[in-house]
Amino acid sequence: MKKTLLWVIVLVLSISMVGAFSFVGCKEEAAPAEEVTEEAAPIEEEAVEEVTEEVGLNFEGVKLNVLMMSHPPALEAAKIGCADFEELTGAEIDIVEASYSTLHDLAMSAFVGGTGAYDVISVPYQWTGEFTEPGYIISLDDFIAKDDPDIDDYIPKAVALYGSWDGHVVELPWNGEAMLLFYRTDLLEEAGFGPPVTWDDFDEICEFFKDNPDYPGIYGTSIMGLREQCMTMVTNRYWGLGGELIDESGNASMDNETMVKALNLLAKHANDYSPPGALAAGLPETTAAFLDGTVVMEEQWPLVIGIASEDPDQSKVVGKVGAIVPPGQSPHSGGWGLAIANDCKDKEAAYQLAKYLTNVENDKYFFTEFGKAPTRVSTYADEGLQEKYYFFEELMKSIDAARPRFREPESAELCGMMDQRVSEFLAGELTAEECAKIMNDDAMEILSK
């Protein structure tokens, strides 16, 4: 009897373990994703008529599901934009929001499972290849030929990076970002420094502020050492020092002196110049530290700090912040476009929604109203905006200068591998030399599969 009981327990345990594996993805889906029901934004009648004329379409009875990154400015913009589109065309839109890492897994689960759960998806450029090669998202060439979304007005770099794959346009650029270095103008001026142009300049400033009794509680920088941010942080340095992740022949190119130097720089910046807790600090912690006035310079996604730093409700450093392309002038590129899923039932409606959300008027409106990063040349050329936002011109420069992380179909695995290895190095599990070699070997192995 006892033996039977023993085996029953073992069987139940076994099944639950396999169940854990089978359902862990579902659990993940349930936690951070959130269904959003938009309230229709009030639109003035004249404006409605004007835009209806422009949209000129009726999608009564059409339902679209949009998978959107839960990046606050872009998400808010999408909510309002979708509500407007609903009112203008009669379509019904549901937005599902997901964090950066969750979005990939949700999209892939839907694609592989063939659930058709999402029609329009915000796709960061690093997943463009992964989604396009198996045919999960479609080419927009025919739609664009028929109904031009002013394609020439998108920033060319944005179209190339988060718009195209293999010569075809597969996304309409939606959110254009590249890392900027934000710095305290008052502190640098007081200390007699200019904004850093090289990593040596950066180090010199950090060293000056380190444990400086004249600046108690002030840190030179604040590094995002959380594992999911490690690759971004190291590539800012590696590219800035002239390194390449993959060489011209498609081989990994990370096992070199430049990578070792970049890794050591990152470790120094995280361990010596950042506030305590850098190895677990993510975007919220580092942003809060900068806005609290305790950090002199910080590499950050531009719209996170850019708008908030000028808001007295959120910032103690209003009017004291400048922005510049990070040292080395080869920052990490962000940015994502709006793609249409292959299993979308009404692709025309989905295309019109993507076109509407990224049109010239909305690009400017969403930036001024919510701080969503523009992707249109005309928005960046607006002199009024250039005057109003201190970081605007630098953002355009940074987008132009920025380098992409991997775009290969294996991108998710390559990026995950680099995050992991750099984090192991920062935690002291690997030396810089070992880390550079292992990353190179791992990348070669992933690319060769």
Residues shown for the chain: 449
Q: Which is nearer to another protein, 242 or 284 (CB)?
A: 284
> Please, is 148 exposed, middle or buried when counting C-beta atoms within 10 Å of its C-beta (0-12, 13-18, 19+)?
exposed
Residue 20 near another protein by CB under 8 A: yes
Residue of 333, 376, 370, 382 whose CA lies nearest to 355: 376
Binder to another protein among 85, 136, 183, 392 (CB under 8 A)? 136
Which residue carries 């690093």 as its tokens?
A: 126
- Residues 129 and 131: their CA atoms lie apart, in Å, by 5
Residue of 77, 97, 80, 96 whose CA lies nearest to 175: 77
Q: Which is nearer to another protein, 394 or 413 (CB)?
A: 413
Residue 109 near another protein by CB under 8 A: yes
Binder to another protein among 298, 423, 432, 436 (CB under 8 A)? 423
Binder to another protein among 142, 198, 427, 431 (CB under 8 A)? 427
Which residue carries 């949209």 as its tokens?
A: 55
- Going residue by residue from 194 to 233, which x/- string records binding to another protein, judged by CB under 8 A? -------------------------------xxxx-----
Give, as ranges, the residues between 382 and 401 that touch another protein (CB under 8 A): none
Q: Which is nearer to another protein, 33 or 353 (CB)?
A: 33
Residue 116 near another protein by CB under 8 A: no
Residue 4 near another protein by CB under 8 A: no
- Residues 2 and 5: their CA atoms lie apart, in Å, by 5
State the minimum distance, in angstroms, from the CB of residue 377 to another protein.
35
Q: Which residues pair with 323 in a beta bridge?
A: 182
Q: How many CB atoms within 10 Å of residue 135?
A: 11
Residue 146 near another protein by CB under 8 A: no
Binder to another protein among 41, 47, 160, 280 (CB under 8 A)? 280
Q: Which residues pair with 34 in a beta bridge?
A: 97
Stretch of 26-34, 238-246, 249-257, 363-371 contacting another protein, by CB under 8 A: 26-34
What is the contact surface with another protein in residues (CB under 8 A)?
A: 2, 6, 9-10, 13-22, 24-25, 27-28, 31-32, 101, 104-105, 108-109, 111-112, 130, 133-136, 225-228, 275-281, 285, 289, 412-413, 416, 420, 423-429
